[in-house]
Amino acid sequence: MMVRIVADWGTSRLRVWALNAGGEVTGAATSDAGMSRLTPDAFEPAFLRAAAALLPEEGPVEVLICGMAGASAGWQEVSYKAVPCEPITRPERITTRDPRLNVRIIPGLSQSAPSDVMRGEETQVAGFLAAHPGYNGVICLPGTHTKWVRLAKGRVLSFRSAMTGELFDLLSTRSTLAGLTGDGWDDAVFDEAVNGAVVSQTALAADLFGLRAAGLLSQAAPGATRARLSAILIGQEVAGLRPIWQDLPVALIGDATLADLYHRALRAAGQRPERFDAAELTLAGLRAAFEIYREEPQ
């Protein structure tokens, strides 16, 4: 039976699936060998360890990878494709040492004005378009670097990235707010704060210092301060990027917990987004990518 291996290689983890000829998942594996833990020469051994139970004893086996494996610090650098373009263009073949492996990496996307890049999210976008080919709207992909992607006629027209998740991590663990944003969470505080953040007229930096002052003066619970910090960052991101999503449908693709926070922020801003499962769309995008080069001579 023919086996195809597909993988999503992120900064913090690697996910691998085996597909049969019909595109059905016949096995899966995960690893914490994300790009941040590897040097370029360690990618192939890391992949072989993660996919050991999925690989046939003899090759060749088709392997298709999206995400950070194609970054400059990845397995082998694969150039970006400039928008406007289809979310997935022809995956690029890379050199491997193991003779069983016939590996291709999906290119990321780039934008010149304003400058922006993505790797991995384009595959989820392609998975979404496989089920919604006529979509004319915006996809929001919450994450460490949240992506807002404008789509029409099956193409990515433009996109913007926001470092909101990274800012939250830095502020909650390494800034003067760190001692005020410990464990815990308060949903009611998040909803109250995000309603204010999406219409805030004050500077983000001033709102953030207000959290420190409130923590010192009123001794707010760490969970409440943590929720308020998240609400301020996400709410002001949503508000600042309103020109991108205003008067258009918005689809949310991401981790359930984080996508829920963006869903609540967008609703507070007057939008009614739909939510979709990120893992399912990643797989759908990888299946679609196989079709792009299936007629290519081997």
pLDDT tens, position by position, 146-190: 999 999 999 999 999 999 999 999 999 999 999 888 889 999 999
The answer as to whether 292 is a domain residue is no
pLDDT at residue 206 is higher than 90: yes
Mean pLDDT of 192-215: 93
**Can you name the residues that pair with 115 across neighbouring β-strands?**
112
Give yes or no for residue 143 having a pLDDT over 80. Answer: yes
Residue 210: which CATH number? 3.30.420.310
Q: Give the pLDDT confidence of 4-25 residue by residue, as tens digits.
A: 999 999 999 999 999 988 889 9
295 has pLDDT over 80: no
Structural domain tally of the chain? 2
Domain boundary among 119, 148, 180: 119
Whether the per-residue pLDDT at 3 is higher than 80: the answer is: no
Residue span of the structural domain in which 31 resides: 4-119
pLDDT at 142: 97
Local confidence band at 297 (pLDDT 50, 70, 90 cut-offs): very low
Do 175 and 84 lie in a common domain? no
Cβ atoms of 94 and 253 within 8 Å: the answer is no
User: Is residue 43 in some structural domain?
Assistant: yes
Which range (74-78, 116-120, 222-226) has the least confidence?
A: 222-226
pTM for the model:
0.93
Indicate if 115 and 177 belong to the same structural domain: no
Q: Is residue 285 part of a domain?
A: no
Q: Assess if residue 286 is contained within a domain.
A: no
Give φ, ψ of 143 to 5 degrees: 180, -165
Which pLDDT does position 298 carry in this prediction? 47
For residue 102, the domain's CATH number is: 3.30.420.300
State the DSSP code for 91.
Answer: P
**pLDDT mean over 278-295:** 85
Token pair for 213: 């002052």
Name the phi and psi angles at 14, rounded to 5: -125, 130
Residue 297: inside a domain: no
